[in-house]
Structure 1
Amino acid sequence: MSEKVKVIKVIKEGDIYFATIENNPFYPDGKGGQLGDRGKIDTVDVLNTPETGVVLSKHLNPGEYFYEIDEKRRFDIAQQHTAQHILSAAFERIASLKTVSFKMGEEYSTIDLDEQNIGEEMLNKAEELSNDIISKCIEVEEIFTDKEGAQKYNLRKPLSDKVSGQVRLIKIDDFDISACGGFHVKNTGNINLLKITNTERVKGNLTRVYFLAGLRAIKDYSQKDSILKNISFILTSGLYDLENKVEILLNENKDYKNRIKKLAEKMAYHLSKDLIQKAVVVNNNKVVYHKKEDETADFLHKYVNLKDYTLIIEDEKNKTFSIVSNNINCKELIDKLKMNNNIKGGGSEVRGNISGDIKFKDILKILEK
């Protein structure tokens, strides 16, 4: 901490302390789509940096204090921001796709492109071109000019009509030049790596591209590499055989599930006979009740004559009841239960489900009426 900042006033707003600062040196959150600064004023942490001041972790009296800006965070922001310029320029060069918005987050960053159908091949080309520019260690130039001077350059994005006064341009050789007031690295090599991690369609006709750059991309690679190695160890498979191994396991699992399903249905046939013998008669209604333990319960309705019996299955784990019957009106029964108990549910005349704080005996009481 070698420089000082003047705190004009501090106001407590709920659980936070909002400070107004003279000539605020902290870059604000969200400006130009990027993250804002963090750091300290005296020994107090700067938690957020809105346009109009800073949010502190505790109270400070007005006065002059030494301050510190988190330079490691600034460098991370610079890596992400310059990477965005490169990635946006890459998409424009490869497929004439325009970046309509950019957002930097604490974990990842995104750009929205004006196209809804972007294939894997195009994504790979944009990523490859971006990393090629990064690997060439091109100087990232700052050019300060006015609006008239800026318009002489072949800007990737035209200047807004609202722009006035001095304009700062970020130039990466002849690959990209854009107006920008945010943080940037001095050399594209400082970014190290750019990785596209995901895409999704947004707002109907746009594609959102998720990406990581710099240390974020390296950490992501390291974490995924560790996960793959652990999975490889668990499955006793070589790393490059994992895909085939997983496919085999999924097919085996599907086969086992089908076998279990068939066995459960056979079990349901035999179980239904025992349950019918134990049926409870309530007001001329014969009720077959079963507490679900496995998939067998899912097939009982096939083997209980629903014209003569009402089948009630309790899933104690999920606190639900399934009611199936052609003998009573299930919808009417559930409506009555909802009037007298703290439950949710619904269904048709022949089938319904309820959940909540209710017991089997509570259902029987309604059937008795």
Structure 2
Amino acid sequence: MTKFTTEEVRSKFITYFKANNHTHVPASSLIPHNDPSLMFVNSGMVQFKNVFTGQEKRPYNKAVTSQKSLRAGGKHNDLENVGYTARHHTFFEMLGNFSFGDYFKEQAIYYAWNLLTKEFELPKDKLYATIYHTDDEAATYWKKIAGFGDDRIIKIKTNDNFWSMGDTGPCGPCSEIFYDHGEQIYGGLPGTKDEDGDRFIEIWNMVFMQYEQIDKDTSIELSQKSIDTGMGLERMTAVLQHVNNNYDIDLFQEIINFIENIVKVKVEGEAKFSYRVIADHLRASSFLIADGVIPSNEGRGYVLRRIMRRSMRHAHMLGSKEPLMYKLLPKLVDLMGNVYPELKRAESFISSILEQEEIRFKATLERGLKLLTEETETLTKGNELSGEVAFKLYDTYGFPLDLTEDILKNRDIFVDHKGFEEQMLMQKERARKSWLGSGESKTNQLWFDIKEQHGSTEFLGYTLNEAKCKIIALIKNNNLVNDIKEIDTQFLLISNQTPFYGESGGQIGDIGTIFAKDSEVEVIDTLKYLGSIIVHKCILKKGQINVGENANFSIDIRYRQNLRIHHSATHILHAVLHEVLGKHVTQKGSLVAPTYLRFDISHSKAVTNEEITLIEDKVNEIIRDNHEVTTTLMATEDAVKQGAIALFGEKYDSEVRVVKMGETSLELCGGTHVRRTGDIGCFKITSESAIAAGVRRIEAVCGEFVIKLMREKDSLLKSIENSFKTNKNELITKVNNILERNKEIEKELEKTHLASLDLSIEQIEKQAAQITGIKLLYKKVGNIDNKILRQAAENLTKKVEDLIMVYIAEGIGKLSITVAVSKAITDKYNADIIAKKLSLFLGGSGGGGQASLAQAGGNDIGKLTNIHEKLYSLLTVS
């Protein structure tokens, strides 16, 4: 049997099916496209789901893929097992061939058998097949094609060999191919009590989609039968490289050896599990970040954070004191970047996110581990860590629950899941309190009822600024009403059609006016519910408005034009950011308002002043070029093929609006835009900041608001010139001179204060009080800087070996406490403790410092009259 590399296995699989007239379809993103039922792509068929259900047509009916996939939980995929078993992974590649109404069972079995035994040269006597127990047709084909007897065809009665997409929809029996690693490995055939052993390993699964499940009890034969297959690349490579553990294949071994060269710990004993965890999680983390996922505390970002922090903890176990993950990335890119170019494109971004997250977690990891050690000191095998402690580790130290479990695994200590969930619910309840009684759920049901009765609102605003529309519903205080009579009443209005744009895709809603008979309504905002109901937020200004009547709807044209300007500028900015910062930039959120725009992007470091200038120049150049802005309706698939960018948070139908601005920008967008880029006028970035790890926020203004901004800055500059009695050409020099002079004055003042506070040894001896064999010197001073008080106190305690020096500085409504203790007596008197107790006595919350020097604050000035008594009591107790 020939030994193949991982790359050769992948290539041979794809080449084989391409030679058999299958279209090679590139891997999709790990983030499912418009599929809310999945957090991540976990198999090869996900990108073809709509093809299998008949909702989508492709220009081919046979396909082959190598699909990057991710599983971080669920049956047989618990994260805690990854690295400890032979075949558990978070990230893996699924090879697959698919037929959409072309070939079926016989040809699928032939393709699999021929590839395995002829192309990959697997011994026939090492292979077994499973079938669903009623699928006699598949059994017949296995006997015909492979020459199997009944002893090599295993009938399975459980749903493990019957696949369905859900409660309804396409479904059908499965047939799996198993490889026998040999009797030296523990395990039994599928269906036996020892089937979970590692001897017999599933290497290929074929799903025969031949039925449609109508309801729980009814299924019918499909007129178009399909094939969905999957072969795990890592498993197949292990077989072809004659190893029994996926982590022993060349791809993983190269990564593991690379790690070993850095951490200098042998890959043996318990350490080998840590190596495997890091190698697996490096792949998962890097590919997720490349596909736009950023570590966070919710959703996909939290899954990524869990994976990364588990890996970082294992790096810590190997003795790595510095961030490690980002140092491994070049090796991964070298191994997989040619097949998955997104890794190469986003390498610098992935590297910075990995490094930042590891730095952030290392700051709390050791403290969290210390707490966990303390809390489990008295626990023995089989005991349980309280849910309260597990939640504290999660909430305070950033330990995902499964990380805590992973740490305790080797000691056979469990975690109180129920207690943890109770703590989590209590926290959520505290966060939700402000929403209690809002009636939100009742209102949500209203939208479903309105949509069911009236359907979607037709939006007319792409071409019209005003239109006659029929009022179909009025809502006041979360209830449907027939009319609104009270002047200045706030309510919601829904019509059959409208020129008002409902807030979506980052663009806020229109404002304007509605006139009906003798009534007038002010529209103060426009929203969108359930994706297609446009809701006008209104105030009655005159008369009475009624359900069923027709009215004239008129938007505020100037307001809309400013929205158009800022929305079109957002598209141009997005395109320019790709050019200036790199292709890794993805949109993480946006706001298009009439006075400014806000754009959140994935980028790991601050945008420099030079980059901001370049971005502004390029955006303004595109504006000056006055490109035509065109909007075209087309199929989503065609739009993506043309290179259109899908914006963050948008849900796209089968037909989409594609907005094009010259050759600069092409995006899917349902918002409103200018006719030509020149209509924007000009563009100016007003701020750039970080809003989360790996996410930057850019704010900018356009058109008249740039002019307004420039006038404000010009006015401010003139005010500063007048204040400094100079002109703008000399202003910087004058300001620098003043700053330098201020520094000199501050130094002189500091010397003066220090001199005024300094005492000779004789003065200290004379002024200090004698308490329990030591000297106490307390002085109340004015509003002197803490730094000076600290220096003065230290100077005095260096002169006398048994001195406790206390300064209390009184500022406006606050007190500052400085305590210094001669080092010779710190074993008995602790400055930090004294300062904290004084702070609490004076209405503060405690301070901080060291045994010889500490500072704190207070605000109860009235208690200063009793400060001597407090100091005496503190020191006599000490």
1:11 equivalent among 473, 476, 481:
476
Q: Does 1:109 align with 2:597?
A: yes
1:87 equivalent among 557, 570, 573:
573
Q: Does 1:55 align with 2:537?
A: yes
Runs of 5+ unmatched residues, structure 1: none
* Paired residues of 1:283 and 1:367 also in contact (CA < 8 A): no
Between 1:274-283 and 1:222-231, the stretch displaced more is 274-283
* Letter in structure 2 aligned against 1:247: N
Paired with 2:574 and 2:643, the residues of 1 have a C-alpha distance of: 15
SS at match of 1:51: strand
* Paired residues of 2:783 and 2:809 also in contact (CA < 8 A): no
| 1:217 CA drift (Å) | 1.8
* Paired residues of 1:27 and 1:49 also in contact (CA < 8 A): yes
Q: Check 1:162–1:28 CA distance in 2 against 1; reply closer, same or farther (3 A cut).
A: closer
SS at match of 1:183: coil
| 1:254 CA drift (Å) | 1.8
Paired with 2:540 and 2:576, the residues of 1 have a C-alpha distance of: 45
Instruction: Considering fraction of residues, name the structure with more helix.
Output: 2
Instruction: Considering fraction of residues, name the structure with more strand.
Output: 1
Higher relative CO (Cα under 8 Å, sequence separation at least 6) belongs to 1
| 1:193 CA drift (Å) | 0.3
SS at match of 2:576: helix
1:34 equivalent among 490, 507, 511:
507
Q: Following superposition of structure 1 onto structure 2, how do residues 64-83 of structure 1 map, counting pairs within 5 Å? A: 64=549, 66-83=552-569
* Paired residues of 2:691 and 2:697 also in contact (CA < 8 A): yes
| 1:301 CA drift (Å) | 1.4
Paired with 2:528 and 2:644, the residues of 1 have a C-alpha distance of: 27
Between 1:129-138 and 1:18-27, the stretch displaced more is 18-27
| 1:184 CA drift (Å) | 0.8
| 1:25-81 deviations in Å (ceiling 9; x for gaps) | 33223x111222223446554444332324345797643455442222211111111
* Paired residues of 2:587 and 2:647 also in contact (CA < 8 A): no
Paired with 1:45 and 1:161, the residues of 2 have a C-alpha distance of: 29
Give the corresponding residue for 1:343: 844
SS at match of 2:528: coil
* Paired residues of 1:282 and 1:367 also in contact (CA < 8 A): no
Paired with 1:210 and 1:99, the residues of 2 have a C-alpha distance of: 16
Give the corresponding residue for 2:663: 174
| 1:299 CA drift (Å) | 4.8
Task: Please tell me whether Structure 1 or Structure 2 has the larger radius of gyration of its CA atoms.
Answer: 2
Between 1:270-279 and 1:188-197, the stretch displaced more is 270-279
| 1:21 CA drift (Å) | 0.9
SS at match of 1:32: coil
Task: Report the number of matched residues.
Answer: 367
* Paired residues of 2:588 and 2:695 also in contact (CA < 8 A): no
Q: Does 1:292 align with 2:774?
A: no
* Letter in structure 1 aligned against 2:598: T
1:301 equivalent among 771, 793, 797:
793
* Paired residues of 1:10 and 1:18 also in contact (CA < 8 A): yes
* Paired residues of 1:80 and 1:104 also in contact (CA < 8 A): no
2:815 equivalent among 320, 326, 334:
320
Q: Does 1:221 align with 2:716?
A: no
Give the corresponding residue for 2:688: 199
Q: CA RMSD, aligned part only?
A: 3.8
| 1:20 CA drift (Å) | 4.2
Q: Percent identity?
A: 23
Paired with 1:145 and 1:163, the residues of 2 have a C-alpha distance of: 11
Paired with 2:626 and 2:537, the residues of 1 have a C-alpha distance of: 37
* Letter in structure 1 aligned against 2:781: K
Paired with 1:276 and 1:70, the residues of 2 have a C-alpha distance of: 81
Give the corresponding residue for 1:365: 869
* Paired residues of 1:192 and 1:213 also in contact (CA < 8 A): yes
SS at match of 1:198: strand
* Letter in structure 2 aligned against 1:225: D
* Paired residues of 1:268 and 1:299 also in contact (CA < 8 A): no
SS at match of 2:627: coil
* Letter in structure 1 aligned against 2:502: P
Paired with 1:160 and 1:340, the residues of 2 have a C-alpha distance of: 53
SS at match of 1:50: strand
| 1:214 CA drift (Å) | 1.5
Paired with 1:272 and 1:69, the residues of 2 have a C-alpha distance of: 82
* Paired residues of 2:721 and 2:727 also in contact (CA < 8 A): yes
Q: Check 1:303–1:119 CA distance in 2 against 1; reply closer, same or farther (3 A cut).
A: closer
Between 1:291-300 and 1:66-75, the stretch displaced more is 291-300
| 1:332 CA drift (Å) | 4.5
SS at match of 1:142: strand
Paired with 1:110 and 1:273, the residues of 2 have a C-alpha distance of: 66
* Paired residues of 1:276 and 1:288 also in contact (CA < 8 A): no
| 1:266-317 deviations in Å (ceiling 9; x for gaps) | 2222699989866677888644221323446555414545733442313232
Q: Check 1:173–1:368 CA distance in 2 against 1; reply closer, same or farther (3 A cut).
A: closer
Q: Check 1:253–1:179 CA distance in 2 against 1; reply closer, same or farther (3 A cut).
A: same
Q: Following superposition of structure 1 onto structure 2, how do residues 94-133 of structure 1 map, counting pairs within 5 Å? A: 94=580, 96-97=582-583, 98-104=585-591, 106=593, 108-116=596-604, 118-133=607-622
Paired with 1:342 and 1:79, the residues of 2 have a C-alpha distance of: 54
Give the corresponding residue for 2:806: 311
| 1:116-157 deviations in Å (ceiling 9; x for gaps) | 355444433332222122112222122223335534534244
| 1:242-286 deviations in Å (ceiling 9; x for gaps) | 333323322222222222222222222269998986667788864
Q: Check 1:287–1:88 CA distance in 2 against 1; reply closer, same or farther (3 A cut).
A: same
Q: Check 1:143–1:183 CA distance in 2 against 1; reply closer, same or farther (3 A cut).
A: same
* Paired residues of 2:764 and 2:777 also in contact (CA < 8 A): no
* Paired residues of 1:33 and 1:102 also in contact (CA < 8 A): yes
* Paired residues of 1:281 and 1:287 also in contact (CA < 8 A): no
Q: Check 1:176–1:335 CA distance in 2 against 1; reply closer, same or farther (3 A cut).
A: closer
Give the corresponding residue for 2:37: none
Q: Check 1:169–1:276 CA distance in 2 against 1; reply closer, same or farther (3 A cut).
A: farther
TM-score by length of structure 2 reads 0.37
* Letter in structure 2 aligned against 1:51: K
SS at match of 1:237: coil
* Letter in structure 2 aligned against 1:27: Y
* Letter in structure 1 aligned against 2:578: E
